[in-house]
Amino acid sequence: MSHNIRIAPSILSADFARLGEEVRAIDEAGCDWVHVDVMDGHFVPNITIGPAVVKALRPHSAKPFDVHLMISPVDQFLEDFADAGADIISFHPEAGAHPHRTVQTIKSLGKMAGLVLNPATPLSALDYLIDDLDLILVMSVNPGFGGQSFIDTQLRKIEAIRKRIDETGKDIRLEADGGIDLTTAPKAIAAGADTLVAGTATFRGGPEQYAANISGLRGE
């Protein structure tokens, strides 16, 4: 099963003074996606990077850029991130008045659309959107900071979403993000996640450790 698990290292935990080199290093170490956490200091209590940095990083890897927008309002920035080189654009249903329109806009830009569920966001957020989604991202911490501990109640949510995805018969990725490490990764996978975002656990030990860290998260 492990070879089907995608690992998407979060560059939030990378060395920001060497971001281009860090993206190249995780690419060479065998990551599947590059996860980019975009925070605005408004929707979440932190400020990270914007489209200009995504654009600057784009030449450093051909791997899909998995861009998680923790910004509100979100719609006005979708085109900027698409133009900057995002392949997958995920957003929170609370970040705009019309989540369905946001999904439509992402798809119209030729990108994969993802919906992000915070720990307290109910499954009902998926009710009229799931058929249009390419990705569902379950936050297993409250968004805003790296290095937080995994919230175990989210395993039940992952299990429930896995069932709903399987019922659609569609190829929708199920991603877990937050507190993913060698202990929690197998739990998330067992619950039904097929993609894992891992920041601290990927970047621990420096570039010479990245390949081993990624393999370990896959359960190899």
- The answer to whether 145 is annotated as binding is yes
- The answer to whether 144 is annotated as binding is yes
Say which of 40, 66, 134, 177 is annotated catalytic: 177
From residue 220, give the alpha-carbon distance in Å to each of 44, 98, 174, 185, 186: 34, 41, 20, 12, 11
- The answer to whether 98 is annotated as binding is no
Give the largest Cα separation in the chain, rounded.
Answer: 45
- The answer to whether 92 is annotated as binding is no
- The answer to whether 202 is annotated as binding is no
Catalytic residue list contains 75? no
- The answer to whether 35 is annotated as binding is yes
Q: Where are the beta strands (DSSP E) in 110-209?
A: 112-117, 135-139, 173-177, 195-198
CB-based burial, 178-187: b 16+ in 10 Å, e otherwise: bbbbeebbeb
At residue 136, φ and ψ (nearest 5 deg) are: -120, 125
- The answer to whether 199 is annotated as binding is yes
Say which of 32, 37, 40, 134 is annotated catalytic: 37
Catalytic residue list contains 177? yes
- The answer to whether 20 is annotated as binding is no
* Residue 8: strand pairing partners: 197
Distance CA 220, CA 170 (A): 27
- Known binding-site residues equal 10, 35, 37, 68, 144-147, 177-179, 199-200
Q: Which residues does the annotation mark as catalytic?
A: 37, 177
- Known binding-site residues for a divalent metal cation equal 35, 37, 68, 177
- Known binding-site residues for substrate equal 10, 68, 144-147, 177-179, 199-200
